[in-house]
Amino acid sequence: MKPRVWKLSPATAIATAALFFALGGGAVAASHSYLITSTNQIKPSVIKHLKGARGPRGHQGLQGVKGDTGATGATGATGATGATGAKGLTSVIKRYAVGSPGAGFSSAEATCNPGEVATGGGADYTSVSGAAIPDVRWNAPTPYGESNTPATGWEVVIDNRGPSGTVTALAWVMCAQP
């Protein structure tokens, strides 16, 4: 028996060549990546095409009251002097309070003196024993939630998230003095 010889038809040869160039062309294109960092790298006719024509101008907004020509009127007479206001604050002082050590939690409330107003505050802990892990549960001005009452103190609750030991809360408040 004679061995079979394969003859390529013109269609098969063209299809094979097309496949070869298609696979190789993508690799060539992928090896050449370009990063445009300036409009100077783009052909001016392309930029003009991307920008497009300017749109119509919008309507002009109102210029004041209907019939107003923009002129300023005469200054009126000076009014009567108002009443003297309340005395302003003279200084701010930081006050502290230390809570009792607790296994589950510790709380403390730092308060301002009578006549003073709390302007801010904060929470901390002063000591930790054993395997205690302190965590701030509550940190807020007192009285809390009363919008018409000025704050007079700061309340803190420190939780113990650890398996054992104690935590001791520390509260501080900034008090404005008249």
Condensed to tens digits (0 to 9), the pLDDT of residues 92-127 reads 999 999 999 999 999 999 999 998 889 999 999 887
| Dihedrals phi, psi of 95, to nearest 5 degrees | -120, 150
Percent of all residues in the chain with a pLDDT value above 70, rounded to a whole number: 84
- What are the structure tokens assigned to 51, written together? 């920008």
Confidence at 29, pLDDT banded by 50, 70, 90: low
Q: What is the pLDDT of residue 67?
A: 57
Burial 52-88 (b: 16+ CB within 10 A, else e): eeeeeeeeeeeeeeeeeeeeeeeeeeeeeeeeeeeee
Q: Would you state the pLDDT for residue 65?
A: 58
What confidence category does residue 178 fall into, taking pLDDT thresholds of 50, 70 and 90? confident
Q: Which of 55-64, 86-95, 104-113, 132-141 has the lowest mean pLDDT?
A: 55-64
Q: Where are the domains positioned within the chain?
A: 92-177
Q: What pLDDT score was predicted for residue 30?
A: 56
In the chain, what percentage of residues exceed pLDDT 90?
33
Quote the CA–CA distance of 37 and 21 in Å, as a whole number: 31
Least confident of 40-44, 64-68, 167-171: 64-68
Global pTM reads 0.50
Spatial contact of 156 and 169, defined as CB atoms under 8 Å apart: yes
So what's the pLDDT on residue 130?
86
- For domain 92-177, which architecture applies? Sandwich (2.60)
For the ranges 44-58, 122-136, 161-175, the lowest mean pLDDT is seen at 44-58
pLDDT of residue 89: 73
